[in-house]
Structure 1
Amino acid sequence: MSDDQPPSRHSPQKSWVEKISHLLSGGEPHDLEDLLETLREAKDKHLLDSDALTMIEGVLEVSHLRVRDIMIPRAQMVVVPREAKLEEISEIVVDACHSRYPVIEGDRSNVVGVLLSKDLLTHVLQNKTSTLVGQIMRPACIVPESKRLNILLKELRTTGNHMAIVVDEYGQTSGLVTIEDLLEQIVGEIEDEHDEHEDEGYIVKRNEHEFIVKALTPIEEFDEYFSTQLTTDEYDTIGGFVMSQLEHMPKKGESLVVEHLRFEIIKADNRRVHLIKLKLAK
């Protein structure tokens, strides 16, 4: 057969990694960093688009990250007491707008179950607001801080759980992680029905004292809107300002107080911050 003829369709197919490596004439990758570098070069050569590269990087990182790397710390969890009546927790639920809440007994280190908002709503509609949280809570999924994210994701998908309570080596609660947190490590930010839409601008006013601010909001626009003076040459966006103040990549749930401004990270992955809740001191 002539060397100029196309290969038979029955010939062994090269993997996509081999094809990319061959096209880049750099040989096959020898470790993870080599593979990532190859993929980034493939993007530069338009063999991959940005979204595909981000997802591939996310998949590779998830297999190396552990629960402790992305969990929401115990101090920042929105919790409800086991002995509280449903009518007593309504303000907490309305303000947080979560679908699940850790149920504690005593203090935050002792999570004894999970309250689902749909269970709460069912009882409220039936005028059973005197029911105790402990009577309708569900069992909590407990995982150690050291569990790898790829393993946890598989377990959550298998069991149907959407939230896991993270415990330390002594069995005390150290935080929580949701299936959304895990998926966002792969695909980036996931918007739900409570997230602000892209076409609503950089800053969305919820009430006189609370705002949702996109991390990419230009710092000059932020200053003009809130009559502040945060602008410097060190950063261009409000997300950059928050990162410079915290001196690390913020995680979902972290907060920062600067004068009369309280910043809370409500959307972030291991690469960047997406959304910030801003509260003004009353």
Structure 2
Amino acid sequence: MSDPHPAHPGRPPEREDKRTFLQKVAEFIHPGPDSREELIETLADAEDNDVIGAESRVMLERVIRMADMSARDVMVATPRMDLVNIDAPFEDLLHLVITTAHSRFPVYQGERDNIIGILMAKDLLKLQRAPELNIRALLRPAVFVPESKGLNDLLREFRGNRNHLAIVIDEFGRVAGLVTIEDVLEQIVGEIEDEFDIPEDNGDIFGLADRTYRVSGDTPVERVAEAFEVTLQGTDPDAQFDTIGGLIAHEMGHLPRRGEQVQLGGLQFVVLHAKGGSVRWFKVSRVDDTSADG
């Protein structure tokens, strides 16, 4: 038997509305959010009503806000980039890898803006086993993105081409910084633990092969002073700090950035790793040893 009401040719079939009458009335009285801020408020209400958990609400809110963010907002700026000089001796390359503990390094030739590729730290093992290899043969292509690149698009590209690092270029074609997939993901899930994040019960002061030490930023000031047999007193005698990271940040007068350094109590503190406005790890050496090496 033929359909008494055939569908209009070329018109897609209408979807069946499975909402109940009460649902339709409720949506008419309480329409959905019309703006991003209203959507965020709706998520907060959902958390208050135990519809979603606090962590889910925070993550969803970060996803929404990330739509307005660009590579410029999360990149590591040029002055704080750890770069490899293609003409540097192997010993210098190895020292940089050990002290910074990164897995990928932009490589430049001549000027620091002239990025010619990316070096994987693990590839240096190939040079140790076969010194005749040319480091250029180990380089991987560098990916360049503009400062204005949206984080949503950047994350999609990271996933698509399986790159974990991109060089950020400003409007004049100069290197402005670098951004990693971890920098982007942290905007959604919060801080990601990495190789620097060693549990406190595993120790917070580590001796390195070059007579320096790696010290966790949350190590108590008293413990650092006792370990190095020094007195650690800031320029403000009335200020009291529980952690060495807090004391050093106060001495610097701003949130420490990677590569910055300060001398205190006969020790030199170099910021190795900073996240979320606090220092995770310092490289610490005695000022006398530093002077002798120079």
**Structure 2: tracts of 5 or more residues without a match:** 1-16, 226-231, 287-294
Between the aligned partners of 1:170 and 1:32, the Cα distance in structure 2 is 33
- In the alignment, which residue of structure 2 is the partner of 1:144? 146
1:222 and 1:73 map into 2 onto residues whose CA distance is 30
What letter corresponds to residue 175 of structure 1 in structure 2? G
The equivalent of 2:189 in structure 1 is: 187
The AA in structure 2 aligned to 1:195 is F
Match runs of 1:222-233 below 5 Å: 222-227=220-225, 228=232
2:267 is the counterpart of 1:266? no
Q: Distance in 2 between matches of 1:254 and 1:40?
A: 39
1:99-248 alignment runs, 5 A limit? 99-124=103-128, 126-128=129-131, 130-192=132-194, 194-198=195-199, 200=201, 204-207=204-207, 209-214=213-218, 222-227=220-225, 228=232
One-letter code aligned to 2:217: V
Counterpart of 1:218?
A: none
CA distance in 2 between counterparts of 1:164 and 1:91 reads: 23
Which whole-Å CA distance do the structure 2 matches of 1:63 and 1:185 have between them?
Answer: 11
**Aligned counterpart for 1:92 among listed residues 82, 88, 96:** 96
C-alpha change, 1:27 and 1:274, in structure 2 (3 Å) is farther
Distance 1:147 1:170 in 2: 15
Counterpart residue type for residue 37 of structure 2: E
Cα 1:232–1:155, aligned 2, differ >3 Å: closer, same or farther?
farther
Distance (whole Å) between structure 1 residues aligned to residue 257 and residue 19 of structure 2: 45
In the alignment, is the contact (CA less than 8 A) between 1:67 and 1:177 conserved in 2?
A: yes
Q: Percent identity?
A: 33
SS in 2 for 1:190: coil
Please list, as runs of the form range in 1=range in 2, the aligned pairs for 1:64-83 lying within 5 A after superposition: 64-83=68-87
> Aligned letter for 1:137?
L
CA positional deviation for 1:232: 7.6
Give the TM-score normalised by the residue count of structure 2. 0.70
Task: Identify if the C-alpha distance between structure 1 residues 211 and 241 changes in structure 2 by more than 3 Å, giving closer, same or farther.
Answer: closer
Measured after TM superposition, the shift of residue 185 of structure 1 is 1.1
User: How many Å separate the matches in 2 of 1:213 and 1:136?
Assistant: 34
Alignment of 1:42-53 (within 5 A): 42-53=46-57
**Shift in alpha-carbon separation, 1:138–1:210, aligned structure 2, 3 A:** same
Q: Distance in 1 between matches of 2:240 and 2:35?
A: 35
- TM-score when normalising by structure 1: 0.72
AA matched with 1:204: D
Give the number of aligned pairs: 251
Query: Larger Rg: 1 or 2?
Result: 2
Give the Cα separation in 2 of the matches to 1:80 and 1:281: 23
CA-to-aligned-CA distance 1:24-73 (integer Å, 9 cap, x gap): x9763332222223323433443332321221122112211110111011
Residue by residue over 1:78-107, the C-alpha shift from the partner in whole angstroms, topping out at 9 and shown as x without a partner, is: 111122343441111122222111001113
Task: Find the aligned partners of 2:152 and 2:168 in 1 and give their Cα distance.
Answer: 15
Which letter does structure 2 place at the counterpart of 1:188? G
CA distance 1:204–1:237, shift in 2 (3 Å): closer
For the structure 1 residues 251 and 145, does the alpha-carbon distance in structure 2 shift closer, same or farther, using more than 3 Å as the test? Answer: farther
RMSD over aligned CA atoms reads: 3.7
Write the letter of the residue equivalent to 2:106.
P
Which of 31, 35, 59 is the equivalent residue of 2:35? 31
**Closer, same or farther in 2 for the Cα pair 1:53/1:147, shift >3 Å?**
same
1:186-245 per-residue CA deviation (whole Å, 9 max, x = no partner) reads 1112123x13244537x711226431224xxxxxx7333345456989998777777778
